[in-house]
Amino acid sequence: MSKPKVVLAYSGGLDTSVAIKWLEEQGYAVVACCLDVGEGKDLEFVQQKALKVGAVQSYVIDAKEEFANEYALMALQAHALYEGKYPLVSALSRPLIAKKLVEVAEKEGAVAVAHGCTGKGNDQVRFEVSINALNPDLQVLAPVREWSWSREEEIEYAKKHGIPIPIDLDSPFSIDQNLWGRSNECGVLEDPWAAPPEEAYELTASLETTPDVPDIIEIGFEEGVPVTLNGKHYSLAQLILELNILAGKHGVGRIDHVENRLVGIKSREVYECPGAMTLIKAHKELEDLTLVKEVAHFKPIIEKKISEIIYEGLWFSPLKDALSAFLKETQKYVTGIVRVKLFKGHAIIEGRKSPYSLYDEKLATYTSDDAFDHSAAVGFIKLWGLPTKVQSIVNNKKVTV
Amino acid sequence: MSKPKVVLAYSGGLDTSVAIKWLEEQGYAVVACCLDVGEGKDLEFVQQKALKVGAVQSYVIDAKEEFANEYALMALQAHALYEGKYPLVSALSRPLIAKKLVEVAEKEGAVAVAHGCTGKGNDQVRFEVSINALNPDLQVLAPVREWSWSREEEIEYAKKHGIPIPIDLDSPFSIDQNLWGRSNECGVLEDPWAAPPEEAYELTASLETTPDVPDIIEIGFEEGVPVTLNGKHYSLAQLILELNILAGKHGVGRIDHVENRLVGIKSREVYECPGAMTLIKAHKELEDLTLVKEVAHFKPIIEKKISEIIYEGLWFSPLKDALSAFLKETQKYVTGIVRVKLFKGHAIIEGRKSPYSLYDEKLATYTSDDAFDHSAAVGFIKLWGLPTKVQSIVNNKKVTV
Amino acid sequence: MSKPKVVLAYSGGLDTSVAIKWLEEQGYAVVACCLDVGEGKDLEFVQQKALKVGAVQSYVIDAKEEFANEYALMALQAHALYEGKYPLVSALSRPLIAKKLVEVAEKEGAVAVAHGCTGKGNDQVRFEVSINALNPDLQVLAPVREWSWSREEEIEYAKKHGIPIPIDLDSPFSIDQNLWGRSNECGVLEDPWAAPPEEAYELTASLETTPDVPDIIEIGFEEGVPVTLNGKHYSLAQLILELNILAGKHGVGRIDHVENRLVGIKSREVYECPGAMTLIKAHKELEDLTLVKEVAHFKPIIEKKISEIIYEGLWFSPLKDALSAFLKETQKYVTGIVRVKLFKGHAIIEGRKSPYSLYDEKLATYTSDDAFDHSAAVGFIKLWGLPTKVQSIVNNKKVTV
Amino acid sequence: MSKPKVVLAYSGGLDTSVAIKWLEEQGYAVVACCLDVGEGKDLEFVQQKALKVGAVQSYVIDAKEEFANEYALMALQAHALYEGKYPLVSALSRPLIAKKLVEVAEKEGAVAVAHGCTGKGNDQVRFEVSINALNPDLQVLAPVREWSWSREEEIEYAKKHGIPIPIDLDSPFSIDQNLWGRSNECGVLEDPWAAPPEEAYELTASLETTPDVPDIIEIGFEEGVPVTLNGKHYSLAQLILELNILAGKHGVGRIDHVENRLVGIKSREVYECPGAMTLIKAHKELEDLTLVKEVAHFKPIIEKKISEIIYEGLWFSPLKDALSAFLKETQKYVTGIVRVKLFKGHAIIEGRKSPYSLYDEKLATYTSDDAFDHSAAVGFIKLWGLPTKVQSIVNNKKVTV
């Protein structure tokens, strides 16, 4: 009888390489699965390495466009920043990876899927809740969390089983990357009083080394989707990757965040999101021009909830679908062009225009073209302030009597 | 019988100078009242000008510390940014000016107070609702809104009555300033596709001319109040003014905003808030370190409402008092030091520390010091994801059957 | 040249009858338009009366099903109760009436539409904002608000122009009714300490006279829409009207509300909504069974906003469309049957069942069938309470040191 | 050396009686602690039983007034209803019990506290999070969750150790009660389609047996606190207990709820809260009269959060303190009298009056006393509807072109 199969989210690093062997020892045939969500790795190498270490099969899946259009786009349109700061880099890719693992597992007839997360991060929650939502019959394994070895014990195990030790193993950092950005934690970053060292960054130039001449770019949006860069059409993934280079060169998008993890602790993280931060800023400015006031004032409530449920691993939940329906409806008129000056770490919005602009110079002007009915204000103020006035009359009288 | 008195919010500009004469013609004795909220004007000159133009009395009141401690501080602790962008510069000073007008009116036995706002801005609402809340028996006059002259008619009237015409009359901009920042609207700014010209700015250096060497400063907070700068104690007003210079030199705090006015139109405004933006950023970072997760996640709801009611002129409303009570309670442990790098338009938080820091390296670390119970995560995830899982089991079954 | 046309929302009462004549005197040809939204009037009589008084044309439009399906249904699914109490009876019909007025105006080539509201109610806002949203070119006239006659002056004018005076003119109440309910204000109701007299009610029996035997009914929902009553299919309008009778007989749905009007004052209103309140209660119970926790806990935020914008006249606003998209997405699984006991003013939900029920007896039970993993709770509680525990350790230590 | 002490929350029932013996076997000296929060038990008997079963000491603490004033009052002023239905009966008493356990533990020098909850309810979370917040050094034991015996195994253990078996052991229900109400789950209630049987209720009469004559009562509030009943002063605990009898007699306050537990499952609960529901209703009506509109419209956001954190066991969290500060500030003017008709399961508010009433008949009336400025509405509507109108002009044009 053949061994039961497990599909493992494989990154090519030490943890998941050791996991292949460890899962094998538990009696599984391991199917490795590596996703390309824009992290720019040598995926051929990763694919081969899995087989070398012992996987019975090794998938590499290019999911960049799916990631851009189905995941990053929602974060963009929701201006999703967890706790006002973190653009949800890893939180966005986890549900997509989970989805692909489940698809491969169903195709391969696997009984389980496995991930390489430890027990104190957010990603374990995102993986497991997503997998349960997509196929509650699949078992979920978390070898790294289960074996709970020290670093030394893990290396010893790897050596014993002929698993190659990566040369950057003593890197002080723990990195995750996709086209929406790059996250970095651990090591010296664990002291929130210390500034992050330059080597913690990779996608963005330091302010000290950015060019002294700005780049002025124009981003074109159609119904909330960025579709052109300087007039040229791009697929969404390509546009984001292009912007990562352009804005990264000018040092845009460094974030240093002491955040509240879902599992109850605070951690200090460093993010780089040059493309994401430029797009979020540009998109918000276009909304400022095209969204009617009531929508502009309520959408942030939706945005906050979207940010939270994505961070908290609830991507595949009915609440996300409902929030998404709201969001989509608001994007109908978010069409236009935003001019951005990339310079010294800034993505400065210099101009915005739209065929659906609700900014009306005739109403806004103080010149003789003025079309605003100034006398209407008198009645407006009277009724706007009426509750306050009545309560002042009533309660001030009472207090003094 | 003596003429009834009116207390006029007097700025020294053309509009309110003409208003003195106009109110006089309506039968009032005009008491001019000019507040120093940190705009850095020559107030002696303003005081004398009022008398010269026809005021029977002319007050100048230094309200800088009151403004800082009773108004700007709430905005700081609430990270109050209307529509995520505007730090409420003028919106904060209007209620204080209204309060002083009412105090003077009560002292002088005046029957009315007057302001120089037109009929399409937000400030008329803020003045009138505040005055009604503080003393509903006082009449409110708005001469500029009432006379509705063209610029030419107003100048002609001024000339006829010997009112001096300011030399900067043909400035294309309409400015308001206090220690929390400076706002600018009109003229070329009315085209949202055009970048604001350099002459629109005054408190901040352009990025192109900022120093190539950063300033690193340390801001000390006690229970949410900034009290020291580089270890030296300042009153709050002095600390903000000092920061305006320091951060302004590095180009920090320029904001370009297409905003939704209370009176129903969109307008394009340019703000400069070097001190305010630096303080808000530093304060938020200290909260990230010291606020427990549940507070950190709910406080933004309160912050959003505070921003809105301040913008909307409801400062003297019972809702502000209740929101303020919430806010104060959250500041108990917001004590510590934030290190800020001022450089190229950025106020970069490089470090933060607090005796009440909830960041626990023992819990957050990935080293062998780890005190986090990794196995607890298994149970947590199981219950956290249970609703999603049950709904997946139930509804996926139903859909396929 | 022919007179310009105005389309008047005509009710058959004194105000709008006088308005026909008054508008004629202003130079308009008046097209009367009366909607049937379930108020149970003799509409043929109303139609004829308009012509008799001077309208050049008189429309009667049966809009009951459109009202039920496009307006009342959203209120039902949103459990829309303004300030937690008022089911938005009139607030729901105003936008539909406005829509029909605009349609008739466009068909008839009219230049204006007119309504009979006074200047202190909410309905004038709802009418005018709706009409402006649907066709901003149409002028809106409000004759009753404009002429500002006393009751005596109006009656004199009516007599002079041969306009029949209704026999119930000295009724102390001001009534509005449609299939979602009946509202009543004025007269003795203006004293909030006085209990409403029995004659204020019409759709509901007093508790003292309700039957001593309950009716037990079953309401069937499909994707959030009530479709059956005791197993029999009804159109939505018919189902609501049927329930008004059934539940009204048992005294269900009396509401006595001191509410905050949009125009800044408090008013005291009495409502009767037997069908609406029964349906809202039943629908909520089915949601309790079928909505996943995260949706159940966020939907009230949406519901509150929906209630407010409907009350505030913003039906035809992009925000309503976005909120509606959220709402629809949540109704997918709200299918099932609710058993209701109508008795002594109560609509008691006795039972609810659904093919999509997320209530799982195996998980919920305390019997030996228990499928819940009790040990998972230990890990859950540890992480759930971790932020509170860390802050207690940190801050209690600090306080005592 | 003496045994380490554990303080056990003792109810007198089988579970906690067995827990005394079981904890003893684990090597502890057990201090039993029973709180009187208004459940009306024979506490002398409970106290003695603990000693008989093996406790080294047995506390009975009358905490009724503390519970009323420090816990129930907040729920009342927040109109706290979890998921719009459940008045948080047990959720309110758990933190108080935890507090008393910790106090006794500190006084007795105990190393641990223990509770009798199983692993699938909410109460274990409330106990443990509260205890950790109050004294993170104390260990928390949950014997019933730990031993995980079947009912039969537990009874066998009890018999073996001479622990008396309660005579109502085969009651199908699981009850908890305090002065804020009574909760009941399990047994036949686990089928949400079945109506709760009459024997599930104890505090309230069935509608079929309620008196045919109403009681009309007057409740007096001072700054949000109910202080008189029919003009007579009561302590808060006595007032609530009195109302439980009065309103219970008329069948007020039965609630049947399918709710989402914190631990991820839905459960069906039956509650009886005659006093609580009467007070919440009366208090809300007095707020409707005395709260200014802006407060009335924002307070529900605070109320919802308060309900959630109480349900979720976060009573002793800084967020509760901040929410509570908001709440207190809103109660300043909630002073007055509410007249309530108790009849056939209803607490009908017939009248409300207050020296701080913001309801102004002069403004609200349609009679000739009318003080409302009708013409102000014209300006108000113009600006209120302006965003909608502009967007209609812009976007309708675009759509058709």
Distant-in-sequence, close-in-space partners of B186: CB < 8 Å, separation ≥ 6 = A365, A366, B172, B173, B174
Out of C36, C145, C174, C317, pick the active-site residue. C174
Tell me the range of A188-202, C37-51, C296-310, D178-192 where mean pLDDT is highest. Answer: C296-310
Say whether domain D174-291+333-353 belongs to CATH 3.20.20.70: no
**Between B and D, how many CB-CB pairs are < 8 A?**
95
d(Cα C129, Cα C133) in Å, to the nearest integer? 6
Residue D341 phi, psi (nearest 5): -100, 115
Name chain A's partners: 3 or more CB pairs within 8 A: B, C, D
CB-based contact B119:A374 (threshold 8 Å): yes
Distance from first CA to last CA of chain A, Å, rounded?
92
Mean pLDDT of C234-252: 98
Cβ pair A264:C383 closer than 8 A: yes
d(Cα D375, Cα A300) in Å, to the nearest integer? 35
d(Cα C393, Cα C398) in Å, to the nearest integer? 9
Q: Could you tell me the CA-to-CA distances from D381 to A164, B139, C120, C129, D387 in Å, in that order?
A: 73, 24, 11, 7, 11
Using a CB-CB cut-off of 8 Å, the residues of chain D touching B309 are 294
List, for chain B, all residue ranges whose pLDDT scores fall below the cut of 70.
1, 186, 365-370, 397-401
d(Cα C93, Cα C176) in Å, to the nearest integer? 10
Tell me the range of B188-192, C47-51, C182-186 where mean pLDDT is highest. Answer: C47-51
Active site residue C174: yes
Determine what percent of chain C is predicted with pLDDT higher than 70.
97
Name chain D's partners: 3 or more CB pairs within 8 A: A, B, C
Helix (H, G, I), strand (E, B) or coil at A26: coil
DSSP states of D372-391: --TTHHHHHHHHHTHHHHHH
User: What pLDDT shows up at residue A192?
Assistant: 94
pLDDT higher than 50, residue C290: yes
DSSP states of A188-205: GGG-TTSPPPGGG-SSS-
d(Cα D164, Cα D151) in Å, to the nearest integer? 15
Q: What is the pLDDT of residues A248-281, one digit of tens each?
A: 999 999 999 999 999 999 999 999 999 999 999 9
Token output for C401? 């040191």
User: What pLDDT shows up at residue A150?
Assistant: 85
User: What pLDDT shows up at residue B340?
Assistant: 98
pLDDT higher than 60, residue C399: no
pLDDT higher than 70, residue C366: no
Active site residue C288: no
d(Cα C45, Cα B374) in Å, to the nearest integer? 78
User: What pLDDT shows up at residue D193?
Assistant: 95
Which residues of D are designated catalytic? 15, 94, 123, 174
Tell me which chain C residue has its CA closest to the CA of residue D347: C345
User: What pLDDT shows up at residue B401?
Assistant: 36
User: What pLDDT shows up at residue C134?
Assistant: 95
Confidence of residue A401 (pLDDT cuts 50, 70, 90): very low
Helix (H, G, I), strand (E, B) or coil at D36: strand
Using a CB-CB cut-off of 8 Å, the residues of chain A touching D378 are 376, 379
Assigned superfamily of C5-160 = HUPs (3.40.50.620)
Interface residue of B330, B332, B356 to substitute, partner C, most C CBs within 10 Å: B356
Q: Specify binding-site residues of A for L-citrulline.
A: 86, 122, 126, 174, 183, 259, 271
In angstroms, the separation between the Cα of residue D347 and the nearest Cα of chain C is 11
Cβ pair B390:C360 closer than 8 A: yes
CB-based contact C345:B381 (threshold 8 Å): no
Q: What is the pLDDT of residues A323-359, one digit of tens each?
A: 999 999 999 999 999 999 999 999 999 999 999 999 9
Q: What is the pLDDT of residues A29-74, one digit of tens each?
A: 999 999 999 988 889 999 999 999 999 999 999 999 999 999 999 9
Interface residue of B129, B330, B382 to substitute, partner C, most C CBs within 10 Å: B382
CB-based contact D39:D241 (threshold 8 Å): no
Using a CB-CB cut-off of 8 Å, the residues of chain B touching C297 are none
pLDDT higher than 80, residue A186: no
Confidence of residue C355 (pLDDT cuts 50, 70, 90): very high
Q: Specify binding-site residues of A for L-aspartate.
A: 118, 122-123
User: What pLDDT shows up at residue B173?
Assistant: 82
d(Cα A114, Cα B376) in Å, to the nearest integer? 18
In this structure, the strands spanning D139-141 and D112-114 are parallel
Q: What is the pLDDT of residues A120-148, one digit of tens each?
A: 899 999 999 999 999 999 999 999 999 98
Say whether domain A176-291+333-353 belongs to CATH 3.90.1260.10: yes
Residue B396 phi, psi (nearest 5): -70, -40
Distant-in-sequence, close-in-space partners of B53: CB < 8 Å, separation ≥ 6 = B17, B20, B21, B163, B164
- The closest CB to that of B319, out of D263, D294, D384, belongs to D294
Confidence of residue A243 (pLDDT cuts 50, 70, 90): very high
Beta-ladder partners of D366:
none
Strands (E) in C109-152, as ranges, are: 112-114, 139-141
CB-based contact A173:A271 (threshold 8 Å): no
d(Cα C7, Cα C107) in Å, to the nearest integer? 11
List, for chain D, all residue ranges whose pLDDT scores fall below the cut of 50.
398-401
Q: Could you tell me the CA-to-CA distances from D226 to A117, B296, C298, D276, D352 in Å, in that order?
A: 54, 33, 32, 11, 14
Cβ pair D398:A294 closer than 8 A: no
Mean pLDDT of C153-163: 93
In angstroms, the separation between the Cα of residue A380 and the nearest Cα of chain C is 9
Q: What is the pLDDT of residues A62-106, one digit of tens each?
A: 999 999 999 999 999 999 999 999 999 999 999 999 999 999 999
pLDDT higher than 70, residue C400: no
Distant-in-sequence, close-in-space partners of D378: CB < 8 Å, separation ≥ 6 = A376, A379, C119, C145
User: What pLDDT shows up at residue B399?
Assistant: 44
Distance from first CA to last CA of chain B, Å, rounded?
92
Token output for A22? 């460890």
Local structure of residue B381 (DSSP, 8 states): H
Does the model's pTM come out above 0.90? yes
Q: What is the pLDDT of residues D234-246, one digit of tens each?
A: 999 999 999 999 9
Helix (H, G, I), strand (E, B) or coil at B195: coil
Using a CB-CB cut-off of 8 Å, the residues of chain C touching D384 are 125, 129, 262, 312-313
Local structure of residue D197 (DSSP, 8 states): P
Determine whether the annotation assigns residue C116 to a binding site.
yes
Which residues of A are designated catalytic? 15, 94, 123, 174
Domain range summary for chain A, segments of one domain joined by +:
5-160, 176-291+333-353, 367-400
pLDDT higher than 50, residue C291: yes
CB under 8 A, 24+ apart: contacts of B232-239: B235/B65, B235/B68, B236/B65, B236/B68, B236/B69, B236/B72, B236/B73, B237/B38, B237/B64, B237/B65, B237/B67, B237/B68, B237/B69, B237/B179, B239/B275
- The closest CB to that of B294, out of D298, D319, D382, belongs to D319
Distance from first CA to last CA of chain C, Å, rounded?
92
Whether the CA torsion B37, B41, B43, B47 is positive or negative: it is negative
- The closest CB to that of D380, out of C174, C263, C314, belongs to C263
User: What pLDDT shows up at residue A304?
Assistant: 98
